[in-house]
């Protein structure tokens, strides 16, 4: 099995879809010759040409609107929003147009568009280039929201997103692009709405997203040395959400920690906590713990950035708190 990085896995899904289906094309700021801001689409213009790897003007609203229009006409565009923060500039098109047309047309119109975007802390990008805004879009009926944490998941979930007849917002974390794992030659689509258990455990469930999946796994390894057995579950798709998998895990372990990089207040973890509370209340032996960033714009200084966002030690402390409340 070949070893692919997260970046290469995303590129592989895009290139395979474009080879298989002429209705698939990609568009975004500097995605052709420059390969996008993070080099994910590097080399694709050489194979597919500028008609299917389209540089766009520096206007997120315009490129999102163009992608939505193309999708409504039967294409399957993948639009790259250079930074997650810039989704705010395209929000009218994504929230009021892409998410609504299928419903408002009574199902006569589909909008099979995928909005790829990346963000996240860990490399001092500053307050306007590293926000985690996934919870904003989970709140919008009509959208699907995906947040893979591994190369295998990135490839399989992106393929499924491209071939979903609904608009999908596909989040990638900047610091995950370099991680590698063995990925099979044959691309296996991963259904949207199916969680993944990365580690089995008996004492506490950690439900984590994006970069925090890896921080949770590191915390689980440390906890194991202390005799605490930790199960780590990654929802992978935030909408639709695999509620049954999350609830089933918590019913087994009787404790729950929810971890994400976004700020705690109003973060996706609040929704997960509510789902677990409703579905597994009688099984909980301790209150649900939430781990996330402090309520602050992301500082530019590395030491301050590190202070604001959560890490493995924060997850481990939450594990200790919930276990100690037995």
pLDDT at 1: 72
Q: Which pLDDT belongs to residue 325?
A: 81
pLDDT for residue 261 is more than 80: yes
Evaluate if residue 120 carries a pLDDT over 70.
yes
What is the Cβ-side half-sphere exposure of residue 196, based on CA atoms within 13 angstroms?
20
Using pLDDT thresholds of 50, 70 and 90, give the confidence band for residue 69.
very high
- Given a cut of 90, whether residue 200 has pLDDT beyond it is yes
**Domain total of the chain:** 2
Do 60 and 163 share a structural domain? Answer: yes
Residue 266: which residues within 8 A CB-CB, separation 6 or more?
135
> pLDDT band at residue 79, thresholds of 50, 70 and 90?
very high
The catalytic residue among 8, 60, 289, 305 is 60
178 and 200 co-located in one domain: no
Domain with 51 in it: what CATH number? Answer: 3.40.50.970
Residues 207 and 58 reside in one and the same domain? no
Domain that holds residue 19: 3-182
Please check whether residues 49 and 114 belong to one and the same domain: yes
**Strand-pair partners of 53:** 26
pLDDT at residue 19 is higher than 80? yes
Catalytic residue among 8, 84, 101, 129: 129
- Same domain for 38 and 82, yes or no, is yes
196 vs 202: CA distance, rounded Å: 16
CB-neighbour burial class of residue 226 (10 A; exposed 0-12, middle 13-18, buried 19+): exposed
Say if pTM beats, i.e. exceeds, 0.85: yes
3 state SS of 102: helix
Judgement on whether residues 130 and 10 belong to the same structural domain of the protein: yes
**What's the confidence (pLDDT) of residue 37?**
87
Within-domain flag for 188: no
Residue recorded with tokens 């992978």:
236
Residue with tokens 């899904």: 13
138 in any annotated domain:
yes
Return mean pLDDT, the chain: 97
Q: How far apart are CA 280 and CA 249, in angstroms?
A: 9
Contact 128, 299 (CB under 8 A): no
Whole-angstrom distance, CA of residue 133 vs CA of residue 85: 8
**Residue 191 maps to a domain:** no
Q: Which of 68-72, 156-160, 167-171, 184-188 has the lowest mean pLDDT?
A: 184-188
Tokens read off for 101 = 């047309």
Token pair belonging to 161 = 């997103």
Whether 60 is catalytic is yes
Q: Looking at 130, 151, 182, which one is the last position of a domain?
A: 182
Residue 265: what pLDDT? 95
Q: Tokens representing 9? A: 């896995």
User: So what's the pLDDT on residue 2?
Assistant: 84
Structure confidence by residue, pLDDT tens digits, 233-246: 999 999 999 999 99
Do 44 and 176 belong to one domain?
yes
The pLDDT > 90 percentage for the chain reads 97
Task: Give the phi and the psi of residue 310 in degrees, each rounded to 5.
Answer: -80, 155
Residue 174's pLDDT is what?
95
- 121 lies in a domain? yes
Residues 143 and 283 in one domain: no
Q: Is the pLDDT of residue 316 over 70?
A: yes
Query: Quick check: 326 pLDDT over 70?
Result: no
d(Cα 255, Cα 319) in Å, to the nearest integer? Answer: 9
Which CATH number do you get for residue 248? 3.40.50.920
């Amino acid at each position: 099995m070949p070893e692919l990085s997260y970046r290469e896995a995303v590129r592989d899904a895009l290139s395979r879809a474009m080879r298989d289906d002429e209705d698939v094309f990609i568009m975004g700021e500097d995605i052709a010759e420059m390969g996008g801001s993070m080099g994910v689409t590097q080399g694709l213009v050489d194979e597919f040409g500028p008609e299917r790897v389209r540089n766009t003007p520096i206007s997120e609203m315009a490129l999102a609107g163009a992608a939505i229009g193309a999708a409504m006409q039967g294409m399957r565009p993948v639009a790259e929003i250079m930074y997650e923060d810039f989704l705010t500039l395209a929000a009218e098109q994504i929230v009021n147009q892409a998410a609504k047309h299928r419903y408002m047309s009574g199902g006569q119109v589909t909008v099979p568009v995928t909005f790829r975007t990346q963000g996240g802390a860990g490399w001092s990008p500053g307050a306007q280039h590293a926000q985690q805004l996934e919870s904003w879009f989970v709140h919008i009926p009509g959208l699907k929201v995906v947040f893979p944490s591994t190369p295998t998941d990135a490839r399989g979930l992106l393929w499924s997103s491209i071939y979903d007849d609904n608009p999908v917002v596909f989040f990638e974390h900047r610091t995950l692009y370099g991680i590698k794992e063995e990925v099979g030659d044959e691309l296996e689509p991963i259904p949207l709405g199916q969680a993944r258990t990365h580690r089995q455990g008996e004492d506490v469930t950690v439900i984590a997203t994006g970069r925090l999946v890896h921080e949770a796994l590191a915390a689980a390894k440390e906890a194991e040395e202390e005799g605490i057995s930790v199960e780590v579950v990654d929802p992978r798709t935030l909408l639709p959400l695999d509620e049954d998998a999350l609830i089933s895990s918590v019913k087994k372990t009787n404790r729950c920690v929810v971890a994400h990089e976004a700020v705690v207040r109003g973060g996706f973890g609040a929704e997960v906590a509510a789902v677990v509370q409703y579905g597994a209340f009688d099984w909980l032996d301790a209150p649900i713990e939430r781990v996330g960033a402090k309520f602050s714009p992301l500082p530019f200084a590395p030491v301050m950035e590190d202070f604001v966002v959560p890490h493995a030690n924060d997850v481990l402390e939450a594990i200790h708190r919930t276990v100690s409340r037995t």
